[in-house]
Structure formats: structure tokens, C-alpha cells
A = this chain, B = another copy of it.
Amino acid sequence: MTDFAKTEKNNIKRLPKRGHYDRETIYSILDEALICHVGFVQAGQPYVIPINFARVGDTIVLHGAKASRLLKHIEAGNPVCVEVTIVDGLVLARSVFHHSVNYRSAVLFGTGRLVVDEQEKLAALEAVTEHLIPGRWKEARPPNQKELHATSVVSIRIDEASAKVRVGPAVDEEEDHALPVWAGVLSFQETPSIPIQDELQSEDVPLPGYIAHYSRRPTEERVP
């Protein structure tokens, strides 16, 4: 996979050593993030809206109601910015100044189009469902014609992109090292609670394995 070129838009100017331009890094962050934040401009005013998504190859797909203002704006080919961030933990330094957060973020730029082809639309809806809950698409009742008709899907080609990643311990000034202030890292994990079954459903319907063992981490990275 080729890297994204550094451009005026995606170039990481602050702390450039945290910048990444390779698709592997950027796409792994996109695939792990639960939701994205879409930025767009109307009458000079910036808007940011959180929304479910999926990556399909070198595109981001979004879905929503046909009447959605956001989707209509993207369909029209206006520039959009898609951002995702995973916060991995807090970095506690001895000095206030060096406090930080361990995180992985990706920022993408592109323009979108309405997905018209029905097969492509279904594939995009499958991707969005599987992004949220891998294994779910085959099991749930598929969309019918009425539901498909009420839903718009847009596809945004990722033209420019970069990631920014901070990992590791606190970095304090050497003269602060002896201060009696606890320093270290407090990592976070998104932990699922016990699944709560719908009250209207018989307990005979078994809990699927993909819910019992739900994790945002790719399968190969999961701790058993």
C-alpha cells in the first residue's frame, strides 16, 4: 500500500515525529474507532457531527436518513474532513506542563458522492453494520425495499490523510525527576458490560458469541 503524500492539508506541523502517512497506520485507527466526526462548511460556518461509518478500501461510507442535511451536503460534492480519535490513556508527568494523553487519531480529507447502485449500497450498509458489530450482518433481518429507499449512503474517497499517535511514558525535565509527584501512565480500555437482552424477547434466543466476546481490537490483538 502506498503512503499518502504530505500536503498543505494533512501535514503534521506540531510534533511532526508523531505524524504518520502510511495507509496501514491510518486504516488500523479508522477500523478500530467506533464513530467518526465529520466536519463540513455551510455559509462559512464550520460544523462537526458524530456519525457511524465504515472504511471500504480507500473510501469512508456513511449512511443515514434520506432527509439528512449532512448526507445531502456530502452528496453535493462539498469538501469534508473525517476525524477519528482513540484515547489510550493519560500520561501523568511530574510537571503540569508535560502532562499528555496517549492517543491515536486520523484526519482524512475528501469529497463524497451518493451511492446509487443497489448492490454497492447494500455492501456499504453491511460494512457499517460489521464495523460496529462484526458478525452481525448475516444474522439480523436484512433491510427491505422500504427501508433501503428511506436510507441514503454516501461514499467519500480518502484523497489526503494523516495519523497522529502518542505512545509511551511521561517525559519530564531532568531537574524534575526527583520530585515526589507520582508519574506514570493510566491506560484505558473500552470494556463492555453484561449484555442486557430486550425485555420483549424470549430468553431462549441465545446470546451471540460476537456480543459475548465483543472487542474493538482486531482479533489477533485480543487478550483471551
Interface residue ranges, A against B (CB under 8 Å): 9, 13-14, 34-35, 37-41, 44-50, 52, 64-65, 67-69, 79-83, 85, 87, 89-90, 92-97, 99, 101, 103, 105, 107, 109, 125, 129, 132-133, 136-137, 139-144, 147, 151, 169-170, 172, 176-177, 179-193, 195-201, 205-208, 211, 214
* CB pair A83 B37 closer than 8 Å: yes
Interface-central residue, A14, A39, A107, A172, by most chain B CB under 10 Å: A39
For this chain, the copies found in one complex come to 2
* CB pair A45 B201 closer than 8 Å: no
Additional A-B contacts beyond A35-B85, A48-B107, A96-B140 (10; CB < 8 A)? A50-B103, A89-B193, A92-B133, A96-B143, A97-B144, A99-B129, A141-B176, A169-B199, A184-B195, A188-B190
Bound state CA distance, A150 and B79, in angstroms? Answer: 34
* CB pair B141 A170 closer than 8 Å: no
Pick from B46, B103, B107: contact of A41, CB under 8 Å: B46
Q: Given A170-B198, A186-B195, decide whether A48 and B48 contact each other with a Cβ distance below 8 A.
A: yes
Pick from B68, B96, B180, B207: contact of A142, CB under 8 Å: B96
* CB pair B189 A140 closer than 8 Å: no
Q: How far is the CB of A203 from chain B (nearest CB, A)?
A: 10
Q: Given A90-B133, A136-B99, A211-B186, decide whether A50 and B105 contact each other with a Cβ distance below 8 A.
A: yes
Bound state CA distance, A158 and B172, in angstroms? Answer: 34
